[in-house]
Every structure is written in C-alpha cells, then in structure tokens.
Structure 1
Amino acid sequence: MINTSSLPATLALKLVTTKRESFETSIRKDVVNAREIKAFEERIASISSVEDLVKDYEVYAFVMKAHGLENQIFGKAMMKKVLVSDPAEKGALVNRLTDKRFRDIRNALEFGSDGSAPEKFQDPDWRSGLVQKYVSHKLVESQLESNAPVGIALHMQTKAPTITSWFNVLSDTKAQDFFYTALGLPESLKTTDVDKQAATLAKRFDLEKLKDPAELDKLIRRYTALAQVGSSGGGSSNPIVQLVSGGGGNSLTSINLSGLTALRAGKYSS
C-alpha cells in the first residue's frame, strides 16, 4: 500500500480518493485481512443463530470490525442482547444505546427476536457487501495510522449521512476533532459541558448542509487544509504526486496562505 505519511493532508486525501481501488486491493491482499475475509465468506452461511455467531470468534470478530466495534468484541453478552433487540420497540437495548454503530450492526445482521439467523446469510451479494464494509473500515484505520487527517476525512465521508444531531458528533471523537478543526474552535471547549459544546457548534454550522454532497466536500476540503497548516514538507517533489497530478504536483500542493488565515479566523462561511 502507498504510504501517505509524508504527504500533506490535502494531497494525501486526493491520492487515496483517486487511487482508492488500489488502496483497497492492498488491504484485501494483506495476510491478516485476507484470512479474516476468507473465514467470514466460508462460514457465515453456516451460522444459524446468535449463539453460533459469538462462538465462531473469527466470523464474529469480522462483523464487529466491519462496523468499527473492535473494542466491543469481548462484550459478547451485551452484543447478543443488542443483536436480538427489536428496533421497533422504544425501550429496546439497541435504541437505548447512543452509539449508532450498535443499531447499524443490528440492522445489518437482522437476527430474529429468537436469535435465529436471517436467510440473507446465504446471499453472496450480501456477503460481498459486508466484506466491502470491512475493507472500507480498514482503509480508514490504515490512514488514521499513517496520516490521521486523511483517516478522519474518510471517516466523515461515511458518517456524515448518519449525523442527525450534534450529540452524534460529540459521541464520536473523530467527528468531534473534524468539526473542531474545520470550524476553528478551541480545544479548551472540549472540556466544557456537552450541551454548551452542542450549542456552540450549532451556531457555527447547520447540520442540514451535510445532506448536500457539495457542502460536505467543501467542509472536508476546509478541514484538510487547516489540518495540514504548520506541517513540514509540501510533498510536491515526492514521486507519489505523479500518481495524482500526472507530473505536476504544484497545482495540488499549493496553498493560499491568506485563504487559510481567513479560514482559521472563521471568516469563510460554510
């Protein structure tokens, strides 16, 4: 996989976006990832209940990772309750949890209230879709490690359509960092009451704008530009730039410093 760690965030995100298929192919070919994908594809069809799922650690861990729930893998008792919760019931566990990832995995797997597995476990297209979700999550993870702003930007591309309130943002550290940087808010605000944070964020940006792809792209470009301010090395001489710019990296790496100053001062409207 191409290492983006030496590139400024704006250029690195452009590279990952332009060459995403190549990045995802590298992820699929990784020894560990390939083994986990193979285990899921070969055994998910034989899973007939929630109990079967949590007993098969490799398959269970795979679906958890695909939904970004690695840190909850060992909470099997709670996950079994989540997976058989009825989203239609207001008081159901899956609805009481503020983290939307639990609802996402419940809706993706669709176990019956009696714990029985759905027929779609037999569907190759459904299995392929979940593998792609796993690969996409791994791509975000890899970029968080090599070029954090890029990982956060990729995360926001996926998360933005699901955000309905500022509390969704504040419960997600990556989304919170994204908006704090993009909107030029001080880190000290993070130590204040969540209601105050939500109110401050609401004054600075209308979440309804996230429904507009152009507005989201504009916000992401602002975030990556600000995230790279002060970083060393423009990367224009890096041969990797050729993959994106076709030989002229300057048009991608040039930064209007006066514009960035205005962004940091909050003079640009979203």
Structure 2
Amino acid sequence: MTFQPYVPMGGLAGWRFLQSTIDNQKAAFERSPLLQRDLDYFAEKIGEVRTPEDLIGDFRLLSVALGAFGLSDDIGSKFLIRKVLEEGTLEPDALANKLSDKRYRELSKAFGFGDFAVPNTVLSDFPDKIAARYSDQAFEKAVGETNESMRLALNAQREFAKVADGQDSDRAKWFTILGTPPLRKVLEGAFGLPLSFGALDIDKQLEVFQHRSREEFGADSVAALAEPDTMARLLDRYTAITGMTEFGNSTITSPALVLLRGY
C-alpha cells in the first residue's frame, strides 16, 4: 500500500502544515513498496542501457527516467524523447536546447547519450542520483493529488535553487524559469499575472518578471530570488494567493494576504 501525503487544507495554512510535517510524510512515502520496487528495478537494469533505444524499449525504466524530471505525462512521446536523448545538449541546435520546456535539456544532460561516447548510465552513482530525483517528484505528484498548488510550491522550493546555482548568466537563468512550466506557474501566481501574460513577447515577459521580482521581493537576480528567506516569502505569497483563487476570493483584503503584509 502506498502512503498518501496528507494536506488538510489549501492556501497558506495548508502550506505551513505541509512544511511542518514534510520530513515524516516523505519518509513514510519513500517506504512505500511500489516506489521501492520501481527504484530497485531501475538500479538493477539501468547499467545495461547504452542507447536511447534501450531506455525507450523498457517501459519501467523510461517511467522512472521521465518521472525523475517531471515528464511522466509525456511517456507516449517516444519519438521526441529519442531525439532529445540522441542529440544531447552540447550543440546549440540540439533539440533539447531548442525546446521551450527546459526539463528535456536536464533529462538529456543527465543521461548523456548524445554528449559522451559512453553514457552516464554506466556510472556507479547514476542510479542513486536518479532515484533521489524520482523520489522527490513522486512525493510531489502524490501531494498534487490533494492540492496541485502544494505540488508546485514544493517543486519550486527545490528547483529554483538548482537554476540559481548554475553557471549560466542571470538572463539565461530567467529564460530557464520561463521555459520550465512548473516554475513559471509559481512566479505567475505569486506575481498575480493573468493567463494572457504568456501571449506577450518573450523579452517583455522577462522584463515583467524581473520588475515584479524587484518590486515584490527586492530581488535583482535569480540567485537573490532563490535565497531561502526570499523563496520562503515567495512561496507563502503563492500559496496564499492560489488558496484564495481555490475559494473564489480574489480580494487583496483576504485574511490570508494580511499575513503577508510587508512582503
């Protein structure tokens, strides 16, 4: 039987509850037999995988691989996945570098089929690295079955720091966030941006994100926004605002936002 994470309510109160119980809930989830079977199978078989075709040909391995990068819903797109893995990430015109969803670039880079003569699948620590990512994503997906906003907040809490720690320029990091749907949704929600925002020119979108980041949180860069205290404030704001939306309340005088004064 798989442990189902528990979030008793939405909004800021639900987020605070989840934060206070997450260590125990995640530990219980990771003991779930089904999760352990998937990870044991991956650890046993992935060292035999040498090509994208090998990975795509094994549904259980591919499920873990995609799940580790939040791409489980794309498991039917095998032609796209094969091309992304084959072409790697080193060439500017590689498919992974051209796709708007930057999670594919992470996937291709992690497996290394197109970047190295021998893929990363043969490395002794590779299964553990993928297992850690898969466990995080699986737990968040389970949380999302109760509340999708909580899932996105947990993902952002982890992934913003990874983007911030990268070697790219700050502008490139912002574009990575714009091109990663779960991260983008959190910022759009925290900044109160409308659904039509995505129709703007991409450079204008970047300008708005940077402006709102400075105005709302005093953060001039992705690194500053990803600082633990600033990220905590951002996620409090995001969960408070989405909580109001869930209850059909869009007024800024909601009690949930009163807690966020000074942010």
Q: Over aligned residues, Cα RMSD in angstroms? A: 3.1
Preserved contact between residue 50 and residue 115 of structure 1 (Cα < 8 Å): no
Q: Are 1:260 and 2:225 an aligned pair?
A: no
Matches within 5 A, 1:37-116: 37-111=39-113, 116=118
Preserved contact between residue 7 and residue 17 of structure 2 (Cα < 8 Å): no
Give the 3 Å change call, closer, same or farther, for CA 145–193 of structure 1 in structure 2: farther
Report the 3-state secondary structure (helix = DSSP H, G, I; strand = E; otherwise coil) of the residue aligned with 1:141: helix
Deviations 1:229-255 (A, max 9, x none): 4777xxxxxxxxxxxxxxxxxxxxxxx
Give the 3 Å change call, closer, same or farther, for CA 42–219 of structure 1 in structure 2: same
162-171 or 221-230, which moves further after superposition?
A: 162-171
Give the 3 Å change call, closer, same or farther, for CA 59–70 of structure 1 in structure 2: same
Q: Are 1:178 and 2:186 an aligned pair?
A: yes
Preserved contact between residue 61 and residue 73 of structure 1 (Cα < 8 Å): yes
Offset, 1:218: 1.5
Preserved contact between residue 68 and residue 137 of structure 1 (Cα < 8 Å): yes
Preserved contact between residue 82 and residue 102 of structure 1 (Cα < 8 Å): yes
Deviations 1:26-58 (A, max 9, x none): 333434423322211221122233322222221
Give the 3 Å change call, closer, same or farther, for CA 15–259 of structure 1 in structure 2: closer
User: Which residue of 205, 230, 241 maps to 1:215?
Assistant: 230
Give the 3 Å change call, closer, same or farther, for CA 107–13 of structure 1 in structure 2: same
8-17 or 139-148, which moves further after superposition?
A: 8-17
- Where in structure 2 are there 5+ consecutive unaligned residues? 165-171, 214-219, 248-252
Counterpart residue identity of residue 257, structure 2: L
Counterpart residue identity of residue 137, structure 2: H
Counterpart residue identity of residue 215, structure 1: T
Offset, 1:140: 1.4
Counterpart residue identity of residue 218, structure 1: R
Give the 3 Å change call, closer, same or farther, for CA 257–44 of structure 1 in structure 2: same
Counterpart residue identity of residue 212, structure 2: R
Give the 3 Å change call, closer, same or farther, for CA 35–199 of structure 1 in structure 2: same
Matched residues in 2 for 1:105 and 1:2: separation?
Answer: 27
Q: Which residue of 2 aligns with 1:227?
A: 242
Counterpart residue identity of residue 185, structure 1: L
Counterpart residue identity of residue 100, structure 1: K
Matched residues in 2 for 1:115 and 1:151: separation?
Answer: 37
* Misfit runs of 4+, over 6 Å: none
Question: What TM-score results when the alignment is normalised by the length of structure 1?
Answer: 0.74
Offset, 1:192: 5.1
Preserved contact between residue 144 and residue 151 of structure 1 (Cα < 8 Å): yes
Preserved contact between residue 65 and residue 134 of structure 1 (Cα < 8 Å): yes
Preserved contact between residue 50 and residue 111 of structure 1 (Cα < 8 Å): yes
Matched residues in 2 for 1:71 and 1:178: separation?
Answer: 19
Counterpart residue identity of residue 154, structure 2: L
Preserved contact between residue 96 and residue 104 of structure 2 (Cα < 8 Å): yes
Question: What TM-score results when the alignment is normalised by the length of structure 2?
Answer: 0.75
Counterpart residue identity of residue 150, structure 1: M
Preserved contact between residue 67 and residue 105 of structure 1 (Cα < 8 Å): yes
Aligned residue-pair number? 241
Matched residues in 2 for 1:35 and 1:17: separation?
Answer: 27
Matched residues in 2 for 1:262 and 1:166: separation?
Answer: 28
Q: Which has the higher contact order (CA 8 A, sep 6+)?
A: 1
Offset, 1:196: 4.5
Offset, 1:190: 4.9
Counterpart residue identity of residue 146, structure 1: T
Preserved contact between residue 50 and residue 117 of structure 1 (Cα < 8 Å): no
Matched residues in 2 for 1:172 and 1:103: separation?
Answer: 10
Give the 3 Å change call, closer, same or farther, for CA 61–207 of structure 1 in structure 2: same
Preserved contact between residue 11 and residue 244 of structure 2 (Cα < 8 Å): no
Matched residues in 2 for 1:207 and 1:114: separation?
Answer: 33
Preserved contact between residue 53 and residue 60 of structure 1 (Cα < 8 Å): yes
Matched residues in 2 for 1:268 and 1:199: separation?
Answer: 23
